[in-house]
């Protein structure tokens, strides 16, 4: 039987955007306030934001597929680079609130402020 160069239609398995899971959410959408992200932890914020709790999640190199700009050093985070995603817990988990940090920049956040571009 010849190989196909296109996906089969019909009974497809795996996650697809636009399909709903059994809780009624779109599979590609963010959970409310980041509450159901797996492996999310709470840490204090960067310099000037220490009194704000941030939700923090590690992104592996395999999950990283876009170019982001780190607010700690204002340098690009290239695809295939493991990094940290952090957002303030108090006011949302929307895409506009999340910031992608180099792991070392986040680790040293107590000694560096957010660059003026993000402040």
- Residue 84, in any domain of the structure: yes
- Residue 24, in any domain of the structure: no
- Residue 21, in any domain of the structure: no
pTM, 2 dp: 0.63
E strand or H helix at 105: helix 103-107
- DSSP code at position 109: G
E strand or H helix at 84: strand 83-88
Read off the pLDDT of residues 39-63 as tens digits, 9 standing for 90 and up: 889 998 887 778 888 899 999 999 9
Report residue 112's pLDDT band, with 50, 70 and 90 as the boundaries: confident
**Cα–Cα distance measured from residue 53 to residue 37, given in angstroms and rounded to the nearest whole number:** 16
Count of domains for the chain? 1
- Residue 80, in any domain of the structure: yes
Whether 30 shows a pLDDT value over 60: the answer reads no
Q: Identify whether the C-beta of residue 48 lies closer than 8 Å to the C-beta of residue 71.
A: no
**Cα–Cα distance measured from residue 13 to residue 98, given in angstroms and rounded to the nearest whole number:** 30
70: containing domain: 37-111
- Residue 6, in any domain of the structure: no
């Amino acid at each position: 039987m010849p190989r196909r160069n296109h996906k089969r239609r019909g009974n497809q398995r795996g996650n697809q955007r636009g399909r709903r899971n059994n809780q009624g959410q779109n599979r590609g959408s963010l959970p409310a306030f980041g509450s159901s992200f797996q492996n999310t932890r709470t840490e204090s914020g960067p310099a000037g934001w220490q009194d704000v709790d941030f939700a923090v999640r590690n992104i592996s190199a395999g999950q990283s597929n876009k170019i982001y700009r780190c607010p700690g050093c204002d340098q690009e985070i290239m695809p295939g680079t493991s990094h940290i995603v952090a957002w303030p817990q108090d006011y949302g988990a929307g895409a506009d609130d999340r910031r992608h940090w180099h792991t070392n920049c986040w680790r040293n956040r107590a000694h560096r402020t957010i660059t003026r571009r993000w402040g």
